[in-house]
Amino acid sequence: MRIALVSDVYLPRLGGIELHVHDLAVQLRQAGHAVTVFTATPADSPATDVPVLRLPSLAGVPTSIEALRLALASGEYDLVHAHTSFFSPLAWNATRLAAELDLPAVITLHSLPAPDGVLLAWLLAHVDRDFGPRVRWTAVSEAVARRLGKVLPHRPIAVLHNGIDPVPWRQSPVADHPLTVVSTMRLTQRKRPDALLRTLQQIRHRVPAGIPLRAVIIGAGPRAAAITGATRRRGLDWVELPGRLTRFEIQQLYRSADVYLAPAELESFGVAALEARCAGLAVVAMASGGVGEFVRDGVEGFLVDSHQAMAEVTAELLTDAPLLRKLQAHNRFSDPVMTWPTVIDQHIACYRATQPALSAGFLPSTA
């Protein structure tokens, strides 16, 4: 199958969509399909593992889609798979062009709309009107699918999870280390790093003073300076802010970590939490997002409804060594549902469902 993956954002920029689209392209190519990524993200040096067409853009917004139009009209692609957040003009244009060219198209929403997001609901419904009846909407989690289904009640919404290879995350744990809480995020208001600092402060108050604690908040973003300042003002000298780390560096750090906190209330899926779960960390997350699709209460971690509850549950977990070891062992030695072989099967089934020509008899390209 010849697939055009379209994403406004892509490597070398780092983020959930960027990494997922790259990993998806790699996995599809390994499964024998021909894949090209179309993006508005510039790069100084070309990628070598995945073909990428970078369209002209200004501040990440495409200034011309002519190259995309010509590529999709060339007959070289069997399907367009666009990846969208709440503002993704390139992905929207690609989906519209596919509809105009009678080319099968799938569009995946990677963000979780707020329940009262009236303006966003109007925007998504407005964009959808240009797509035509054959475009297939999907979401990265059941949580996103439910919200999107309310916005587009006439559309069936399938779920295409993000994927993971658990093996690289299963590093040998470091036996002798202080109890360590970690979180990995882009430091933006939507991810709620400020609330995380308040949660950490409450955890320290609840855990006996004689028990050493360490916390690490990994990531960069527009709130970085404010979070650094707030950490100093609150006297959180046990909280480390190393900035952005590579996947390998995060894997090494998780060897000496115990609990992962996911404080975002609008977490569409939670790739970082899934990585931590595969590394053997107990996960405590907000129940309102997509993390609940791979974290069950008392099995992989806990789901909570408030930041106060997150502090309470985490403090109890850090002071209950048998329970903590039980969750960690389960996570370290069991695979989640979202491993790449399963996720790729989901994608191919979805692709084939877009048109009879892409049915079970279609032979994948090995180009």
Q: Using CA atoms, how far apart are residues 74 and 149, in angstroms rounded to an integer?
A: 33
Task: Specify the CATH number for the domain of residue 297.
Answer: 3.40.50.2000
Smallest Cα–Cα separation from 314: which of 326, 302, 298, 305? Answer: 302
The answer to whether position 364 is within a domain reads no
Are residues 201 and 94 part of one domain?
no
Q: Is residue 367 part of a domain?
A: no
62 with 105, same domain: the answer is yes
CB 94 within 8 A of CB 72: yes
Residue 258: give the domain boundaries.
Answer: 167-333
Integer Cα distance of 129 and 131 in angstroms: 6
The residues near 7 (Cβ < 8 Å, ≥ 6 apart) are: 17, 18, 21, 37, 38, 39, 82, 83, 88, 90, 91
pLDDT in tens, the chain (367 residues): 999 999 999 999 888 999 999 999 999 999 999 999 999 999 987 767 999 999 999 988 899 999 999 999 999 999 999 999 999 999 999 999 999 999 999 999 999 998 888 888 899 999 999 898 889 999 999 999 999 999 999 999 999 999 999 999 999 999 999 999 999 999 999 999 999 999 999 999 999 999 999 999 999 999 999 999 999 999 999 999 999 999 999 999 999 999 999 999 999 999 999 999 999 999 999 999 999 999 999 999 999 999 999 999 999 999 999 999 999 999 999 999 999 999 999 999 999 998 764 444 344 444 3
User: Would you state the pLDDT for residue 323?
Assistant: 98
Has residue 13 been placed in a domain? yes
* 37 and 89 housed in the same domain: yes
- Give the number of other CB atoms < 10 A from CB of residue 202: 17
Q: Verify that 147 and 217 share a domain, yes or no.
A: no
Cβ pair 164, 247 in contact under 8 A: no
- Reading the block at residue 295, the tokens are 């974290």
Q: Flag whether 309 is in a domain.
A: yes
**3-state secondary structure string, the chain?**
CEEEEEECCCCCCCCHHHHHHHHHHHHHHHCCCEEEEEECCCCCCCCCCCCEEECCEECCEECCCHHHHHHHCCCCCCEEEEEECCCCHHHHHHHHHHHHCCCCEEEEECCCCCCCCHHHHHHHHHHHCCCCCCCEEEECCHHHHHHHHHHCCCCCCEECCCCECCHHHCCCCCCCCCEEEEEECCCCHHHCHHHHHHHHHHHHHHCCCCCCEEEEEECCCCCHHHHHHHHHHCCCCCEEEEECCCHHHHHHHHCCCCEEEECCCCCCCCHHHHHHHHCCCEEEEECCCHHHHCCCECCCEEEECCHHHHHHHHHHHHCCHHHHHHHHHHHHHCCCCCEHHHHHHHHHHHHHCCCHHHCCCCCCCCC
Output the CA angle 40-343-33, nearest 5 degrees.
Answer: 65
**365 found inside a domain:** no
Co-location of 143 and 54 in the same domain: yes
Whether 85 maps to a domain, the answer reads yes
**Is 95 among the domain residues?**
yes
Q: Cα–Cα distance between 150 and 340 in angstroms, integer?
A: 29
Residues 270 and 178 both lie in one domain: yes
The Cα 315–Cα 113 span in angstroms is: 30
- 199 and 291 in a single domain? The answer is yes
Tell me: do 141 and 171 sit in the same domain: no
- Whether 133 and 247 map to the same domain: the answer is no
pTM, rounded to two decimals: 0.92
The number of distinct structural domains making up the chain is: 2
Per the DSSP assignment, residues forming a β-bridge with 107 are 82, 137
Is the same domain home to 157 and 247? no
The reply to whether 12 and 137 lie within a common domain is: yes
pLDDT at site 364: 42
Q: Which pLDDT does position 189 carry in this prediction? A: 94
Distances (CA, A) of 307 to 38, 153, 183, 303, 319: 39, 32, 14, 11, 18
- Indicate if 299 and 225 belong to the same structural domain: yes
- Is 363 part of a structural domain of the chain? no
User: What integer pLDDT is reported at residue 132 of this predicted model?
Assistant: 87
- 262 contacts 183 by C-beta, under 8 angstroms: yes
